[in-house]
Amino acid sequence: MKKFGLFASACAFAMAVSAGGVNAADCVHKIGGIAPLSAPGTVVGGEAMRDAMLIAEKDINAAGGVLGCDVKIVIADSEGLPEKAKAIMEKLITQDGVVAVGGGYHSSVGVAAKDVANARKIPTVFAETWNDTITGDKQKYIFRIAPLSSWASATIWRYALTIDSVKKVAILTENTDYGIPAAKETTKGLEGGGKEVVTFSVDIGTQDYAGIIQRIKASKPDMIITLATGEAGYNFTQQAADAGIGPLDVVFVTGQVSLESKAYWENVPDGNRAFVQRIGLPESGFSARGKAFAKVYKAKTGKKAVESYAMEAYDSVAILAQAINEAKSTDGDAIVKALESITYNGTLGKIFFPYGTGKDPSADGKPDSWWHQWPDVALTMIQYQKEGESSGNATIVYPDVYKTGEPIINK
């Protein structure tokens, strides 16, 4: 990666000695951004992440850019596919010349892309990839600000255990690096708490759930948990509602993409009383940077609320820009060193990485997945209790520390 370090030095030198000065736009550093912008990926999530990363680009440059130069976010479409993820990571590095990479929505994309980035010595901060193994193999150049899948799953099953009327749970999961471990972890937690569990699996991108829904209906669950990403969550929830086992009929946890309130209510008009897992606090609890981002994001997109994955995408590239400035270099090793000691006040709060080359997670009895992992992710369960309401205003029902109201439990 020497050519990028030389490029940065050349920019700094030109700015220092040129009689007329050099505009920051005359030297540009590129940061890659990965997002699913085509099916079978979560397009609505990818578009939110793209918008957020472009806002970050504008904010970074307004604050002086990186190393005196503008930053350019080069966004690549993962399509939610692991084979595509490898190809676009290679292209971002070898053809587009990025010095670091942010973004990433699907776990399968993170699992596939991380090895390419690590081999190429390109620091990568994943935004929304949950699979524990992404940080669990302790690669030098891989970081994550999304929660571990084991943490996220625990939020759902622990909440389920608080509902006495729930005796049997049906899980709808996708056959991916997110869905498979998430279903396994959720099942283990529920069964450990005395709940009966039955799991139904589908391929990513499935559109017609009629057969699965009839099997779920026949199992007579008290609760349905959806572990399917993207628009699949809309389709399954509405088709289940049409069959009489939707959110108004049983306790129903729908997919995280349902935080996109406008699209949710358009696609799932019978979606009242659905529970959704959300990363981060409600807007009233946002940091100053989070509130500033929310204002710009809502104006840009026309949305009434800000999805957590949009905030993660913003932070994933903004923290890289800060690390490059603190490292005073675009060299991969220098950026990693800066990230391992960074304190970044982002939209999601204060982000830091307590474990890495200076301190192994095992030193504190933590699993390997805590390597280069932000440990302070807020995880909540919300419920839509009014038709058409914004996810930002929905009632937080779990955990108690963030709770804003009681859940409405369907009998």
Report CA dihedral (271, 174, 282, 301) to the nearest 10 degrees: -80
Mean pLDDT along residues 288-312 = 95
pLDDT at residue 101, as a whole number: 98
Contact of 392 with 404, CB cutoff 8 Å: no
Contact 156, 381 (CB under 8 A): yes
What ranges do the domains of the chain cover?
A: 2-148+288-370, 150-282+379-398
Q: Positive or negative, the Cα torsion across 110, 107, 83, 207?
A: negative
Pairing of strands 344-346, 70-77: unpaired
Average model confidence (pLDDT) across the chain: 92
The better pLDDT of the pair 281, 37 is held by 37
Would you list the DSSP string of 125-140? EESS---THHHHT--T
Q: What is the pLDDT of residue 203?
A: 92
Higher pLDDT, 26 or 244: 244
Assign 368 a pLDDT band (cuts: 50, 70, 90): very high
pLDDT bin (cut points 50, 70, 90) of residue 31 is very high
CATH topology identical between 2-148+288-370 and 150-282+379-398? yes
Q: What CATH class has 2-148+288-370? A: alpha beta
* pLDDT at residue 169, as a whole number: 98
**pLDDT above 70 coverage of the chain, percent:** 94
pTM of the model: 0.87
Output 13 or 145, whichever has higher pLDDT. Answer: 145
**CATH code for the part of the protein at 150-282+379-398:** 3.40.50.2300
pLDDT band at 281 (very low <50, low <70, confident <90, very high): confident
CB 311 within 8 A of CB 293: yes
* Average pLDDT rounded to a whole number, residues 392-409: 94
List, in sequence order, every beta strand (DSSP E) within 264-333: 275-279
| Structure confidence at residue 411 as a pLDDT band (50, 70, 90) | low
Q: DSSP string covering 23-86, please?
A: -GGGSEEEEEEEE--STTS-HHHHHHHHHHHHHHHHHHHHTT-BTTBEEEEEEEE-TT-HHHHH
Q: What is the pLDDT of residues 126-179, one digit of tens each?
A: 999 999 999 999 999 999 999 999 999 999 999 999 999 999 999 999 999 999
User: In the predicted model, what is the mean pLDDT of residues 320-336?
Assistant: 98
Does 305 score more than 80 pLDDT? yes
